[in-house]
């Protein structure tokens, strides 16, 4: 279970979970367990910048939740799902069989004060930009987010909702972004 009092980092800093972190980590028990092992390997930024660390544990940690795909363009039909509590759709791929195992763990945080960071998220996987519909900066969306998500997809799970076919351009237009 998540330690709400926080996690000590390699430099003696403190990584503090957000107030409702227990709800998130109850659904991601593997991440809560790995934080005990990950925190002592993390050095917090001293310049107040965002913390985004990818740690390779050198052993399988769990199934990949995101995979590289055939690259599509924004007008190519592809598969999506509308995940609960999201403002837009996610590109998904339905795999036959089990997803590949992954050995990396991501920890993201934002500065709270000297030597303290708020734990924003932690998960087995790799880093990714926000989904195109979530990017407020149109330039950043077109230069980083959209190209990334045209070449990657989340591995579909039943809790993500029904799979449907569309294009990024159509989905972004529906949202007015």
- Whether residue 167 contacts residue 78, with contact meaning beta carbons closer than 8 Å, is answered with yes
The pLDDT score that the predictor gives to residue 174 is 96
Quote the Cα angle for 126-111-83, to 5°. Answer: 40
Residue 167's nearest CA partner among 80, 68, 69, 67 is: 80
pLDDT tens, residue by residue, 61-84: 999 999 999 999 999 999 999 999
Give the pLDDT mean for 158-173. Answer: 97
Nearest CA among 48, 39, 5, 50 for reference residue 122: 39
Residue 128 half-sphere exposure, CB side, CA atoms within 13 Å? 26
Structure pTM?
0.78
**pLDDT averaged over every residue in the chain:** 93
Residue 148 has pLDDT above 90, yes or no: yes
pLDDT at 177: 86
Of the pLDDT bands very low, low, confident and very high (cuts 50, 70, 90), residue 167 is very high
5-25 pLDDT tens trace = 899 999 999 999 988 788 777
Q: Judging by beta carbons within 10 Å of its beta carbon (0-12, 13-18, 19+), is residue 63 exposed, middle or buried?
A: middle
Q: Give the per-residue pLDDT at 46.
A: 93
- pLDDT tens-digit map of 80-91: 999 998 999 999
Q: Is the dihedral of CA 117, 122, 44, 143 positive or negative?
A: negative
Is the model more confident about 133 or about 19? 133
Is the pLDDT at 55 greater than 90? The verdict is: yes
């Amino acid at each position: 279970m998540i330690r709400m009092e926080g996690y000590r980092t390699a430099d003696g800093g403190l990584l503090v979970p957000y107030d409702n972190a227990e709800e998130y980590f109850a659904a991601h028990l593997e991440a809560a367990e790995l934080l005990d092992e990950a925190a002592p390997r993390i050095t917090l930024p001293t310049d107040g910048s965002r913390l985004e660390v990818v740690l390779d544990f050198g052993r399988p940690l769990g199934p990949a939740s995101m995979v590289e795909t055939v690259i599509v363009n924004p007008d190519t039909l592809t598969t999506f799902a509308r995940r609960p509590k999201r403002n837009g759709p996610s590109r998904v791929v339905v795999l036959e069989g089990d997803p590949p195992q992954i050995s990396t763990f991501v920890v993201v945080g934002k500065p709270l004060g000297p030597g303290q960071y708020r734990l924003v998220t932690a998960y087995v996987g790799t880093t990714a930009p926000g989904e195109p519909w979530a990017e407020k900066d149109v330039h950043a969306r077109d230069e980083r987010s959209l190209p990334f998500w045209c070449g990657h997809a989340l591995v579909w799970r039943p809790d993500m909702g029904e799979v449907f076919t569309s294009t990024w351009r159509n989905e972004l237009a529906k949202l007015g972004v």
